[in-house]
Amino acid sequence: MSPLVKRKRERNPLPTKYLLLILTMVCVILMVLSFSTGILSGPLNAISSILVPFQKGLTQVGTAIVDRTENLGTLEEVMKENEELRQKVNELTEANTLLQQDKYELTTLRELYELDKEYDEYEKTGARIISRDPGNFYSNFVIDKGTNDGIQVDCNVIAGGGLVGRVTDVGPNFAKVVSIINDNTNTSGSVLSTGDNLIVSGNLIFMQELGVIEFSQLDSEKEGIASGDKVVTSNISDKYLPGILIGYIETINTDSNNMTKSGTIIPVVDFKHLDEVLVITEIKENPY
């Protein structure tokens, strides 16, 4: 026998089949001991304490990924529904705005219709305001009717239950109107209950601060005139037809000369909100 073969046998004194048999028996013994006596529970628990956190972390990461995927899908659906709802809200808002506008125009037309019946002795034509001077009030404005519609200078303009002003300039399809609240206007008026005459003067500062205009030159000896009395256009007015309502007396004061009274009037017309007016196409005939 050669020396090389001899050395190999010395290194592997135990045959392979016996080595496998021994290892198998050891494994069986260890398994029996683990299940029956719990001798290996310590090492197994140590291994578990290391592996379980990793397993738990992997489980949480997997769950988070699944949840986020589901949340992204739900969020996409919610965003789509939100956009559809927003579009419906916009459509409803637009429809509601149109209804409110129609209601406002209908109310205005009804007021003009009632005003037309109240002053049915005069010929009138309706007109829409197309521009005005800057400011909060309609002290000067332009309407979309003119000489083609029978309008001429000094035609009286009414709306909202009473007198607005008069036409001062006119073209074929437009007319300029100055209202009675303008600082440069004076109107001959009369207290409806007594027939006493007075002068109504525009005052934009009073309108802005108090919502009133002024009156003056009321005879101080006249009694029975009180707050709330109606003031209408006078028969002696050279520009305005008689009997058109101007407003209601608010305050009355005796002047320093003790001969006249003055005070304030609340106009019947809302000079902050004007869209449609009626123009009386006949003018006051001046006998002089």
Model confidence over 207-242: pLDDT tens digits?
Answer: 999 999 999 999 877 778 899 999 999 999 989 999
Q: Please tell me whether residues 139 and 75 are part of one structural domain.
A: no
- In order, the DSSP letters of 68-137 are HHHHHHHHHHHHHHHHHHHHHHHHHHHHHHHHHHHHHHHHHHHHHHHHHHHTTTS-EEEEEEEEE-SSSS
Here the CATH number for the domain that contains residue 199 is 2.40.10.340
Residue 285 maps to a domain: no
**pLDDT higher at 135 or 271:** 271
Place of tokens 């013994």: 29
Last residue of a domain, one of 84, 118, 152: 118
pLDDT digit string (tens) for 254-288?
A: 999 989 999 999 999 999 999 899 999 988 876 55
Residue 288 maps to a domain: no
Q: What is the overall mean pLDDT for the chain?
A: 79
Q: Please tell me whether residues 67 and 129 are part of one structural domain.
A: no
Strand partners, 191: 231
Residue 254 maps to a domain: yes
Does the pLDDT at position 139 exceed 90?
Answer: yes
pLDDT digit string (tens) for 165-213?
A: 999 999 999 999 999 999 989 999 999 989 999 999 999 999 999 999 9
Residue 176 in contact with residue 152, Cβ under 8 Å?
Answer: no
Cα 281 from Cα 96, distance rounded (Å): 37
Last residue of a domain, one of 103, 118, 133: 118
List the structure tokens of 233.
């256009």
Nearest to 240 by CA among 270, 280, 267, 203: 280
Q: Please tell me whether residues 112 and 133 are part of one structural domain.
A: no
**pLDDT higher at 200 or 25:** 200
Q: Please tell me whether residues 131 and 222 are part of one structural domain.
A: yes
Nearest to 161 by CA among 224, 127, 213, 112: 112
Alpha helix ranges (H) inside 143-287:
204-210
Residue 249 in contact with residue 274, Cβ under 8 Å?
Answer: no
Residue 247 maps to a domain: yes
Nearest to 179 by CA among 210, 207, 152: 207
C-alpha of 214 from chain center: 35
pLDDT digit string (tens) for 93-119?
A: 666 655 555 444 555 656 666 766 778
Residue 280 in contact with residue 127, Cβ under 8 Å?
Answer: no
- In order, the DSSP letters of 11-37 are H--S-HHHHHHHHHHHHHHHHHHHHHT
Q: How confident is the model at residue 5 (pLDDT cuts 50, 70, 90)?
A: very low
Q: Please tell me whether residues 98 and 204 are part of one structural domain.
A: no
Q: Please tell me whether residues 57 and 37 are part of one structural domain.
A: yes
pLDDT score for 206: 92
Cα 200 from Cα 214, distance rounded (Å): 6
Calculate Rg over the CA atoms of the chain: 49
Query: Rounded to whole angstroms, what are the CA distances from 236 to 70, 81, 285, 287?
Result: 86, 70, 11, 10
Does the pLDDT at position 70 exceed 60?
Answer: yes
Q: How confident is the model at residue 18 (pLDDT cuts 50, 70, 90)?
A: low
Find the helix or strand (DSSP H, E) in which 63 lies.
helix 41-118
Phi, psi angles (nearest 5°) of residue 57 = -60, -45
pLDDT score for 122: 85
185: containing domain: 124-280
Q: How confident is the model at residue 51 (pLDDT cuts 50, 70, 90)?
A: very low
pTM for the whole structure: 0.63
Nearest to 231 by CA among 206, 283, 207, 195: 195
Q: Please tell me whether residues 147 and 266 are part of one structural domain.
A: yes
Does the pLDDT at position 244 exceed 90?
Answer: yes
Q: Please tell me whether residues 189 and 61 are part of one structural domain.
A: no
Q: Please tell me whether residues 157 and 86 are part of one structural domain.
A: no
Structural domains in the chain (count):
2
pLDDT score for 111: 66
